With several copies, the nearest count.
Chain A
Amino acid sequence: MNPSTMTVHTLFFSFAADRMNGRHKTLDLPQGTTLGDMVRQYLEPALGPDSRNWLYSVNEEWASWETQLKNGDEIAVIPPVSGG
């Protein structure tokens, strides 16, 4: 692994998994990437502009746009929920 990059694991659910053709992706990102950076640069092209309004978690906890990602983080993409 290039020392200036880090690897994160991304989980997709519901129609977001359909759009990504899979429930798991591994991404190599530049060090210092925030959750917001990752969504805008790497996910929005595939998931569409609505994905800016979705919720995200990092390591099984809700995370904000400003969250600094670290090597090995698990990011979950949470499209609008429909339980019940």
Chain B
Amino acid sequence: MDVYRITKEPIDVASALIDIADDRAGAQALFLGTVRNEFEGRSSRGLYYDAYEPLAEKELRRIGEELKQEFGALHVVLIHRIGDLPLGVVSVLVAVSTGHRGEAFAAAREGIDRIKLRVPIWKKEHWGNGQDAWHHDPEAFPAK
């Protein structure tokens, strides 16, 4: 079973494992993005994620279809959480099942890379000093 979802709720890894289970699969790869306490050396208190939900879910689905086509993924779960997330929390989950491990790693890696490139989701850093900044805002993150 495939799942493509933008959610405000905690991401349930156990249920993703049930969704990708398949007797034809010898391999499952999962990638979880978690909220880190720093970004490029500056301390952070957490992240806020916003999304354009209808288009984001469509784009997650397109990425999942690509992973099935290109890597033979049997099942794909792509979930991104939005809202205010404290340190340590899972913000994004990529889970795939495949026949063998090579394709599982390749599909999971491409899954997160394509999410970061293409899905209309944005994150705001809550810096340790109390300031906030949207990533990729040229005023907040000047070109180096």
Contact = CB atoms under 8 A, between A and B. Distances in A.
Interface of A is mostly: mixed
Interface string B63-99: 0000000000000000010000000000110000000
Given A57-B52, A83-B92, A15 B134 contact: yes
Nearest to A74: B54
Contacts of A50: 138
Contacts, number: 76
Given A13-B122, A14-B122, A83 B116 contact: yes
Q: Contact size class for A? A: 10 to 19
Contact of A83 (B55, B80, B101, B140): B80
B33 interface: yes
A84 B52 CA distance: 14
Centre residue among A13, A15, A61 by max chain B CB count within 10 A: A15
Interface string A59-84: 01110000000000000101111111
A50 B138 CA distance: 10
B90 to A, nearest CB: 11
B118 interface: yes
Interface residues of B, number: 31
A18 interface: yes
A82 B54 contact: no
A14 B136 contact: yes
A62 B54 CA distance: 12
A11 interface: yes
B112 interface: yes
Given A50-B138, A76-B55, A81 B120 contact: yes
A15 B92 contact: no
A81 B50 contact: no
A84 B122 contact: no
Contacts of B51: 13, 83
Contacts of A14: 50, 122, 124, 134, 136-137
Nearest to A76: B52
